[in-house]
Amino acid sequence: MEQKILLTPGPLNTSRTVKEAMLYDLGTRDREYQDMVETLREKLLDLAHVSKEEYSLVFLQGSGTYGVESVLEGSVGKQEKVLILSNGAYGERMEQICKAHGIPYQIQSFSKLKKLPVNELEPYIAQEDITYVAFIHCETTAGVLNDIEEIMELIHRHKKISIVDAMSSFGSMDLNLKSLGIDFLITSSNKCLHGVPGVALIYGKKEAFERCEGKSDTLALNLYEQWKDMEQSHGAFRFTSPTHVLLALNQAVKELEEIGGITARHEHYILLQKMIRDAMEKLGFDAPVSKEDQAPVITTYFIPDWMDFSHFYEWMKERGILLYSGKLPGYQAFRIGNIGDLTVEDMERVRTEICNYVKEYKR
Ligand SMILES: *Cc1c(COP(=O)(O)O)cnc(C)c1O
């Protein structure tokens, strides 16, 4: 097997040192490991600009969706209701979760190619029977970045509780959970934090977790129990801890600090994205998302008439580069991600190969 350049939205390329951090087998009930988990939780709170007096960071075994499911299922009571503001597949996934658990919900769907229209949202948020409002910060479907500050302001104005899926944005841009006043935020180890897949990260206000008592009907996904246990047992997990995943995440966070933190990573992503976007523009590819609405993590391109995407995909794959198909119903599109442990040289190579392909096959 050879190393690939992953232009996907997760899992992503990880550094050699992140992978090497997993070479140790640690006991999950051992002090050394548990101290590392606790220190990592504190570091992750720092990255979100919150203190452990007000907020808590809960690890949940599984991919990001496990975290979203745990929060929706464990927080919204059967007598309450969650409003989902959706502009993509991940908003729709929240609806699937609500359906699966019989969680009372209302979904408002908007264009997948644009930001959520902030000036149209208030009447929905203001509805009296709504307790929670859930939305996606960066909708990875088309690569759209929603206006988190403005949406949070509306949520506060109407005293609702917020659930933010920041899976593909946390780590790609600085988010101050305290000043934004976010109640729950979900991200995962394997997106912009550059860890390996296997654990979801759930940030929450202490009072938001406290409200969850007795609400969950699940055992392993039970948000309240996972939180309470993690707060009380100093780095132990209720069920088998993903020790290697946490070792990798610990190393990944260290490396994030070393490069200068989230702001530096943001700048780097912007640079990589621009390299590809400029080249694609020159080659005549159209991007359906405007630059104002574009998230710094992944870009959608229309598949031009002359191109057979599966041929392009296989051709790039032979050269060690994995592209990502589109997920927009009604559009022929594909996506190019720019997150993960990628260098400018990697992106130069991607750019060169795309140019070569276009030269060879464009009719
Ligand atoms: C990747 C992603 C998820 C989680 O997907 P998993 O496959 O469960 O890791 C959720 N929401 C968004 C916006 C994502 O980009």
Could you report the per-residue pLDDT of 32-75, keeping only the tens digit for each?
A: 999 999 999 999 999 999 999 999 999 999 999 999 999 999 99
Based on the fold, state whether residues 237 and 331 are members of the same structural domain. no
Q: Cα of 72 to ligand 1 centre, how many Å?
A: 15
Task: Let me know: does 65 contact 207? Beta carbons within 8 Å.
Answer: no
Based on the fold, state whether residues 154 and 220 are members of the same structural domain. yes
Could you report the per-residue pLDDT of 166-219, keeping only the tens digit for each?
A: 999 999 999 999 999 999 999 999 999 999 999 999 999 999 999 999 999 999
What CATH number does residue 25 fall under?
Answer: 3.40.640.10
Query: Which residue segment(s) compose the domain that 150 sits in?
Result: 16-258
Quick check: 326 pLDDT over 90? no
Q: Given 226, 258, 290, which residue is the final one in a domain?
A: 258
Based on the fold, state whether residues 250 and 350 are members of the same structural domain. no
Please name the residue whose Cα sits nearest to atom 6 of ligand 1.
64
Based on the fold, state whether residues 306 and 210 are members of the same structural domain. no
Residue 234 amino acid letter:
H
Cα 151 from Cα 122, distance rounded (Å): 9
- State whether the beta carbon of 86 lies less than 6 angstroms from ligand 1: no
Q: In this predicted model, which residue has the larger pLDDT, 118 or 327?
A: 118
Task: Let me know: does 82 contact 61? Beta carbons within 8 Å.
Answer: no
Report the mean per-residue pLDDT for the chain: 96
Q: Percent of the chain beyond pLDDT 90? A: 94
Residue 287 amino acid letter:
A
Could you report the per-residue pLDDT of 25-34, keeping only the tens digit for each?
A: 998 888 999 9
Based on the fold, state whether residues 252 and 324 are members of the same structural domain. no
Tokens of 348: 């130069």
Q: Cα of 115 to ligand 1 centre, how many Å?
A: 18
Q: Cα of 354 to ligand 1 centre, how many Å?
A: 27
Could you report the per-residue pLDDT of 255-279, keeping only the tens digit for each?
A: 999 999 999 999 999 999 999 999 9
Based on the fold, state whether residues 134 and 270 are members of the same structural domain. no
- State whether the beta carbon of 188 lies less than 6 angstroms from ligand 1: yes
Place of tokens 């993960």: 340
Mean pLDDT of 235-249: 95
Question: 361: Cβ–Cβ under 8 A, 6 or more apart, which residues?
Answer: 306, 307, 311, 312
* Residue 119 exposed, middle or buried by CB count within 10 Å (0-12, 13-18, 19+): exposed
Please name the residue whose Cα sits nearest to atom 2 of ligand 1.
167
Cα 183 from Cα 200, distance rounded (Å): 16
Please name the residue whose Cα sits nearest to atom 14 of ligand 1.
167
Could you report the per-residue pLDDT of 129-166, keeping only the tens digit for each?
A: 999 999 999 999 999 999 999 999 999 999 999 999 99
Based on the fold, state whether residues 199 and 308 are members of the same structural domain. no
Q: Given 233, 258, 283, which residue is the final one in a domain?
A: 258
Kindly give the pairing relationship between strand 199-205 and strand 132-136.
unpaired
Kindly give the pairing relationship between strand 55-61 and strand 199-205.
antiparallel
Q: Given 204, 233, 258, which residue is the final one in a domain?
A: 258
Based on the fold, state whether residues 158 and 79 are members of the same structural domain. yes
- State whether the beta carbon of 140 lies less than 6 angstroms from ligand 1: yes
- State whether the beta carbon of 69 lies less than 6 angstroms from ligand 1: no
- Which pLDDT value is given to residue 236? 87
- State whether the beta carbon of 10 lies less than 6 angstroms from ligand 1: yes
- Which pLDDT value is given to residue 111? 96
Based on the fold, state whether residues 242 and 332 are members of the same structural domain. no
